Amino acid sequence: MTDLQDKLSAALAGRYALERELGRGGMATVYLARDLRHERAVALKVLHPELAASLGPERFQREIKLLARLQHPHILTVHDSGDAAGQLWFTMPYVEGESLRDRLTRERQLPVDDALRIATEAGRALDYAHQQGVVHRDVKPENLLLTKDGSTLVADFGIARALSGGVEPLTDTGLAVGTPAYMSPEQASGQHELDARTDLYSLGVVLYEMLAGEPPYTGPTAQAILMRRLTEAPRPLRLLRETVPQGVEVAVTRALAKAPADRFATMAEFARALAAPTAPLPSGTQAPIAAGSGQSTRARRPVPAAVLTMVLGFLVGLGVLFAWRRSHPDAERAGAKRLAVLPFENLGRPEDEYFADGVTDEVRGKLAALPGLQVIASGSSGEYKDTPKPPQQIARELGVEYLLVGKVRWEKPAAGQGRVRVSPELVEVATASTKWQEPFEAPLTDVFRVQADIAGRVVRALDLALSTGQREQLAERPTGNVAAYEAFLQAEAIADSAAVDPASLRRAIHSYERAVALDPAFARAWAGLSGTRAARYVNSPGKAADVAALRAAARSAAERALALAPEHPDGRRAMGAYFDYVEADPARAAEQYALALRLAPNDARVLRDVAGAEGSLGRWADALAHSERAAALDPRSARTTGALGATLLWLRRYPEARATLDRALALAPSAISTIQVRAMVELAQGDLAAARRVLAAAAKDVDPPALAAFMANYFDLGWT
C-alpha cells in the first residue's frame, strides 16, 4: 500500500475497507473499497491535493450535495463523502464493466447502432442534470462507463457547478475543468459562464470519435488542438465512414457548431435529431461535403468574427490549460529546464559496464517523467561516453542548461553482500559551477533507493515543484529482486546495442526470461522481453520454425507487462511494437503508442514510435510534429534525425528534408536506410544526377557488399 492508502485505511476504519487502487485521473485517485455498513463494493475517490486545496472542505461539501441530488438511471450517483486524514473523498457505486475509452482503445470504431445508443443514453442523463441546474463540463470517453448489461452511465460530474450561479468558478483558482480534445470553443477560450450547450458540444465530439475512430480535432499539443477547434471545420463524418446515416452526420455537425447559439438548445433536441432520418442545419452552418464531391475537406472557410473573438479569448486565457499540463506537459515545454544525464563512469571491472549504464538510465528515466524538465534521450547523451569534450561544448551540442555526470563502483565480494557507490554531480553550464554534488554508498539491495535519492536531489537542486503522486512515482522500484534487476540490465545492454543477429537476440531473450523468472511481477522486464521476441520474429530468416511460438510469446509478454503496470509507458510501447512489426497493423499500433505518449510525453522513443505509426497511416502533419519533438529531445541520434528527414520528404518539404538527412548522415555516415531516403529526396525532384552523387558519396562509408545489395534496387529501376 502507498502512504496515502495507509492513512485513509486508518482514518476510515470501521466504515470502509480499502482493497486496491483502481486508477488515477486528472482530478482524483480511485480505490476499490468495501462499504462495511451496507456490505457492498464502492469506488472511493480521493481528490488530488492541489484540487482539494483549491476547493476547500466547505465548497467540496456544497458540490457533493449538488451531485447527490442527481438520481437518474444513467448517472453514477454519490453515496457518501467526507474529509479524512486531510483528504477530501466521496464514494460511488462500483461498476463492473469498462469505460468507453477502454472499448474505443480496443475497437477504435463502434457499430453505428452502439454509438447512437451510448450517445442517446448519455444525452438523457445530461439532459436530466441540466434540468437540475448542473453542467458536467468534462464529458469524454473516460467518464462514460459501460456496464456488463450494456447500459451507459455518466460518471464524475466532479466539480460541476450550478447554472444558477453563486458559486465561484474553479477556473478562477487556476485549475481548469475539461479535457482539450473534448472542450467546447467557449470553454477553451476561458469563459466561465458555460451552459448546457458546452456539454452538448462535448458529447458531439464523443459521438464523432465513436463513429470516425478519432476526435474531430487532433494535434500534438493542447494549444494545437484548441486552435484547430476554433479555426477549422471538422472533416465530414461520411467521408471517413460511408455507413454513417446522413441524418446522424448532419446532427453531429450541428452539435459541433462553434457558436453555442447554432447548436441544439437541449440534449433532448440532439437525441431526437439523431433518431430522425434528416436534421436541418442552422443558418450559417456549413453542410457536410458529400463523399466524392472533389472539394477539399481541409479547405478553410473565412473565420467569423465571433470565432475570432473566441481565438482572442483563447490566447489571453491560456490559464485554462493548467489541469491538462499536469498530465500532458506539452503546454509548458517552452519554459522547461533542459538537462542531459551523461553516461556514469564505471570505476569497477570492465564487465560491470552494463551496471553503470543501468544506473544512468534509471536516473534519467525518473527525471524524464517529471513536468518542468526536458531530459535529453539516451541515444544522444550516450554519445558522450568517455568523451574528452568539455561540458560547455557538450551542452551546446545538446542544447541543455545542466549536465548530470557521475561515477559508479559496484563491489561484488566473493562472500557477503555487495555494495554500490555512486558519486553524481549536477553542473550548471552557464556558470561552469557545480550546483549539487553528493556521494552515495549503500548495500546493493538498496540500489533502487540510491537511484531515487539521486533523482530527488536533482529535483531539489533545480527547484522543481512535485505533487504527492509525482514524488511517489520518483520513489517507485522497478523490482524488489536485485538479481532480477541485474539480469534485466544485461538484457537491456544487448537490446540497446541495436544488434539484430539471431545470437544477440537469443542472449537478450534469455536474460529477460531470467529476470521475469526471478520476479514474475517485473513489468518492465516483460515489456523488454516482448520487444526482443518481436525483433527476433521480424528478423528470423525465412521465418524460423518457432515463428508461431515467437509471435504468440511476444504478444503474451506485452499483455503481461500491461496487466502488471497499466500506467507505465513501456507496456503500451511493447504492445504498440507488437502490432507495428509483428501484425503490421499501424492503426492499432498508433493507438497503443498514443497511450504510451500520454504516460511519457517527453520520451523521444515514444514520440518516434508515434510519428512512425502516424506516417504509415498518412497522418503526416501529426507525424511531423511528433518527429520534431523527438528530434529536440534526441538531437544527436541519427535514427531520430533520419526519421524526421523522411517525414519532411513525404511532406514534399525537400530543402528541409535534404538538410535534416545530411545531419543524420553526419552522425552515422554508413546508415544505409538514411542514404536511401537522402537519394529519394533528389529523385522526388527529378534530379537523377544528384541522386547518383549521393550514392557515390556513400560508397566511401558503407560496407561494399551491403552497398551493392542496396544499389541493386536502383539498377532494377534504371536509376543509376
Catalytic residues: 138
CB contact at 8 A, 419 and 444: yes
CB contact at 8 A, 171 and 324: no
Pairing of strands 440-443, 419-428: antiparallel
Pairing of strands 402-411, 337-341: parallel
- Pairwise CA distance, residues 183 & 198, whole Å: 8
Partners of 33 in the beta sheet? 18, 42
- Pairwise CA distance, residues 159 & 64, whole Å: 8
Would you call 223 helix, strand, or coil by DSSP?
helix
Measured at the alpha carbon of residue 693, what is the angle toward residues 692 and 697, in degrees to the nearest 5? Answer: 120
Would you call 65 helix, strand, or coil by DSSP?
helix
Q: 10 Å Cβ neighbour count for 626?
A: 29
DSSP 257: -
Is the Cα dihedral 123, 236, 588, 613 positive or negative?
A: negative
Contacts of 391 (CB under 8 A, 6+ apart): 403, 427, 429, 432
Q: Where are the alpha helices (DSSP H) in 668-703?
A: 672-684, 688-698
Contacts of 351 (CB under 8 A, 6+ apart): none
702-719: b (≥16 Cβ within 10 Å) or e: beeeebeebbeebeeeee
Burial of 161: CB neighbours in 10 Å, binned 0-12, 13-18, 19+: buried
Per-residue CA distances from 290 to 72, 236, 247 (Å): 39, 8, 13
CB contact at 8 A, 106 and 59: no
579-604: b (≥16 Cβ within 10 Å) or e: bbbbeebbebbbbbbbbbbebbbbbb
- Pairwise CA distance, residues 611 & 596, whole Å: 13
Would you call 150 helix, strand, or coil by DSSP?
coil
Q: Where are the alpha helices (DSSP H) in 213-257?
A: 222-231, 237-240, 246-255
